[in-house]
Amino acid sequence: MKQLAVFLLFLGLVSCQHFNVKKTTPEAILIEELNTFKWNEVDSYPSFSLCDTLQNKVEKKDCFESTLANHILTELQKEPIVVTKDIKDTIMLSFLVSKTGTLSINSIDLNPVIVEEIPNIEVLIIESLNTLTQIFPAIKRGQQVKTQFKLPIILQVN
């Protein structure tokens, strides 16, 4: 009996450590969460309905970018572009996809030769984006978020 009492006393003293609760504040939880939060990554990239069947995040991003680039090139090919010099250059588009899926161009980096040969190239690119199908915005933690992209467009005109 004496051994049982000593054992229970020992168990009671040792188990008191398990009742110690670490106190934390909401601010500490917020700071810890913000430090682990990856601001430059999204759970799901913007996409077109064509890309919805893909499950892999990287494949969805590639599908979005290639669909967008192909659409721009297809629309540019519809326009009669006459040049005096052969052009093979890259146009760098910087754009934003809003929380609602609206695409807006931040900047278009053009070579001066392209501007000289095709003065209305910026207008043609902007008009081509106006004919896009619906874009589904990026998702981060279940919320629709805006995302920025840079997209190279290889322009080849003979």
Residue 16 has pLDDT above 60, yes or no: no
Residue 47 near residue 57, CB atoms below 8 Å: no
| Domain contains 37 | no
Q: How many structural domains does the chain have?
A: 1
Claim: this prediction has a pTM higher than 0.95 = no
- 40 or 73: which carries more pLDDT confidence? 73
Asked if the structure places residue 143 within a domain, the reply is: yes
Scanning the chain, the segments in alpha helix (DSSP H) are 2-15, 26-36, 57-78, 112-117, 121-129
Alpha carbons 102 and 47: distance in angstroms, whole number: 12
Residue 144 lies in a domain: yes
Q: Is residue 39 part of a domain?
A: no
Q: What is the pLDDT of residues 56-113, one digit of tens each?
A: 888 999 999 999 999 988 988 888 878 788 888 888 999 999 999 999 999 999 888 8
In a domain, 15, yes or no: no
The parent domain of residue 145 ranges over 49-157
Note the pLDDT tens digit of each residue in 126-142.
899 888 889 999 988 88
Q: Is residue 21 part of a domain?
A: no
118 lies in a domain?
Answer: yes
Asked, for residue 140, whether it belongs to a domain, the answer is yes
